[in-house]
Structure 1
Amino acid sequence: MDKPFQSMQNALADEYRRLCSDAAAHQPLAYLRLRRAIRNVIEQRAIEPGQTLPSERDLAQLLTLSRVTVRKAIAGLVEEGVLTQRHGAGTFVAERIIKPMSRLTSFTEDLRARGLNPRSEFFERDVGEVTPEESMALNLSPGVQVIRLHRVRYAGDEPLAIERTVVPASVLPDPMLVHDSLYEALEARGCRPRRALQRLRAVLLNARHARLLHVPTGSAGLNIERRAFLDDGRVVEFTTSWYRGDIYDFVAELQTD
């Protein structure tokens, strides 16, 4: 067994046992403890993107768990896009950012779950009167005040996406309340969205977008429009994003009736 793999196994075992003994972080279900342990060691960079996890059998033996428990823990992380599975090859830490479209999560949450460091570079954070387009998207009357956020979203020093976001000022009155995560700012005010409608299409990035994302002009990108709603049906967010197509995969699970 090579040293990096042995080191990863040791890190996983140590973190799992720490969670078992830590009363403050105690989770009574073993598969959730294991899921948290795997996520934590990824965030600590003890497991690198593209690295193979131990097999279900090896993890079960290492941690004295059933293979059913291990399988359930891994399946949840695969669903979230933190891990990927290749038939006949094993389970790997995702190299590309895989964004499941069945779960409403923020950019910041997605990157933190993968052990990446999210940050934002703002070009605009201000308050103004709603435009006709924004009024239609947010179901607002003319003259209503909104906040606008225009920023590049990063993982460390790597630009991943450009976002333009509009939020009713009645929900979030001060754009300076948003640091990295819009959803954290909304949640602090009891206004985190509960569902969203998204429209995704493939685009070629224009010169300005390509320059901001550090890719050649005409590179493949993904344009996404999101309208997010509160439980009472109010639209709380209208965001238009441009993602790098060489890094992001958006995945949807489909089922028959």
Structure 2
Amino acid sequence: MKISAVLDPGNWSRADGGPLYLQLAEKLSEAVSQGLLAPGSPLPPEREIAAMTGLSRVTVRKAIGRLVEDGLVIQKQGSGSFVAPPAPRLEQSLSRLTSFTEDMARRGLSTTTLWLDRGIYIPSPDEVVALGLSSDASVARLARLRLADGRPMAIERAALPLDILPDPGAVEVSLYGTLAEAGLRPVRALQRISAINLGRDDATTLEVEPGTAGLRIERTSYLADGRVAEFTRSLYRGDAYNFVAELRLARD
């Protein structure tokens, strides 16, 4: 399909669809996601888009500016606007028990944590079962947005028994680093990975569109003595990760 057909306002412009520049930005974003505008390819000049859509160049410029803000388009001085190259995916091994901070440090990436919540709470039924808690116990909860070089990568929601983490406020950067200082770092874990479509709130936090593909990972971690140390439910951007596992031939 030619870009002129994609931008035909009869295919996307609606009276009740909000500001025209946002409708145009959404249509261009769809063209990128569907491969009609390939990574690295130039966008038509503003005057051509204005002619195709019947919009003013000011409206077209605002639409392109929105795509630049969203990271879908880059502008080069004197050259025009181009579809941004896809962000590289990170490979994470499923055979090593490491923290997010350790994973990113090995790749030379700086990590940032934005706290969404942390405190001591009454456990949910899932947490009671996963952590083996009594009905009157409490849990330490940590909810964090993890970023690598400023790019949102994952939302982590962890629950730990209070005898493992009595003070959630003690965790500043790395949970596993804090546990290691107390001699309570997990040594093994079970993980369950499933594909999901991100809901509106989580997608907004991860700076992707609602309904975007993501990965949900549930991890139950254990200490050397077999005690459960951590129950974590994480949501990862589907466009950011490849999980890699080494398989060996089973011998009879």
> Does 2:124 align with 1:126?
no
Matched residues in 2 for 1:151 and 1:231: separation?
A: 26
Stretches of structure 1 that go unaligned for 5 or more consecutive residues are: 1-93
Instruction: Indicate the residue corresponding to 1:159 in structure 2.
Output: 152
Q: How far is the alpha carbon of 1:95 from its aligned partner?
A: 3.6
Show the counterpart of 2:18: none
Q: Report the equivalent of 1:181.
A: 174
- Distance in structure 1 (CA, Å) of the matches to 2:150 and 2:96: 26
Unaligned runs of 5+ in 2: 1-86
Give the one of 232, 242, 249 matched to 1:249: 242
TM-score normalised to structure 1 length: 0.62
Q: How does 1:59-208 map to 2 (within 5 A)?
A: 95-208=88-201
Indicate the SS of the match to 1:110: helix
Letter in 1 for 2:177: E
Q: Which moved more, 1:148-157 or 1:106-115?
A: 148-157
Q: CA deviation at 1:156?
A: 2.6
Structure ID, larger Rg: 2
Asked whether the 8 Å contact 1:131–1:142 carries over to 2, the reply is no
Instruction: Report the CA distance between 1:140 and its aligned residue.
Output: 1.2
- Is the contact between residue 132 and residue 142 of structure 1 (CA under 8 Å) also seen in structure 2? no
What fraction of aligned residue pairs are identical, expressed as a percent?
Answer: 49
State which of 223, 236, 243 in structure 1 corresponds to 2:229. Answer: 236
The Cα shift of 1:188 comes to: 0.5
Q: Give SS of 1:112's match.
A: helix
Check conservation: 2:111, 2:150, Cα contact below 8 A: no
* 1:189-239 alpha-carbon deviations (Å, 9 max, x no partner): 000000000000111111111100011111110000000000111110000
Structure 2 matches for 1:19-38, cutoff 5 A?
none
Using the alignment, how far apart are the partners of 1:108 and 1:163 within structure 2? Answer: 12
Structure 1 residues 79-107: Cα deviation after superposition (integer angstroms, max 9, x where no partner) = xxxxxxxxxxxxxxx94210000000000
Name the one with the larger helix percent: 1
> What is the CA–CA distance in structure 2 between the aligned matches of 1:132 and 1:212, rounded to whole Å?
26
In the alignment of these two chains, the number of paired residues is 164
Contact 1:124 1:148 in 2 (8 A): yes
- Letter of the 2:113 partner, please give it: S
How far off is 1:145 after superposition? 2.1
Measured in 2, the distance between the counterparts of 1:131 and 1:200 equals: 21
TM-superposed deviation, 1:132: 2.0
Q: Secondary structure at the match of 1:167?
A: strand
TM-score calculated relative to the size of structure 2:
0.63
CA distance in 1, matches of 2:131, 2:217: 16
Aligned to 1:209: 202
Query: 1:171 is matched by which residue type in structure 2?
Result: I
Q: Distance in 2 between matches of 1:177 and 1:221?
A: 30
**1:43-83: CA deviations, max 9, x gaps?**
xxxxxxxxxxxxxxxxxxxxxxxxxxxxxxxxxxxxxxxxx
Is 1:154–1:160's contact at 8 Å kept on the other side of the alignment?
yes
Contact 2:114 2:144 in 1 (8 A): yes
Letter in 1 for 2:230: E
Equivalent residue number for residue 59 of structure 1? none
